[in-house]
A = this chain, B = another copy of it.
Amino acid sequence: MDSKVNLTPQRKAIYDVICESNNHPTAAEIIENLKENGFRFAYGTVYNSLHYLTEAGLIHELKLGEGSSRYDGNIDEHQHIQCEICGRVDEVFTEINGEWLEEIDKETGYTVKSHQVILKGVCPTCQNQ
């Protein structure tokens, strides 16, 4: 077993910021947040830690097609929807139909390993403006 996770103080602090945020923060936002909590880690350490935590399965990296990745402490299977106006990212727990994925297997000949749905729309707050 090599599933032992080595949570150094840096990794722990970064993990905590991600879990306590409800915002799917970017690396830049994480660094800013760390600064507010009195931490100042090297740039490389933050990225290194984000990779480590992702690799260890403790967080997920979200690539929503913006310039930068976002990070998610919720590792339960779910998808995301992003507001076109304010940019906030919310959770979507209604899962896509499993039959659909099998269909793709047949259609393309690929062995499907994963899928990601990125929804865009207007959030409730931005609708009232």
* A binding-site residues for B, Cβ under 8 Å: 63, 65, 81, 83-84, 90-94, 96-97, 100-101, 103-104, 107-124, 127
- A97 adjacent to B94 (CB under 8 Å): no
Given the interface pairs A81-B108, A97-B100, A104-B81, the reply to whether A117 lies near B115 with Cβ below 8 Å is yes
- A81 adjacent to B94 (CB under 8 Å): no
Minimum CB–CB distance from A85 to chain B (whole Å) comes to 10
Minimum CB–CB distance from A108 to chain B (whole Å) comes to 6
Given the interface pairs A100-B94, A100-B97, the reply to whether A114 lies near B119 with Cβ below 8 Å is yes
Chain B residues whose C-beta falls within 8 Å of the C-beta of A101 in the assembled complex: 119
- B107 adjacent to A113 (CB under 8 Å): no
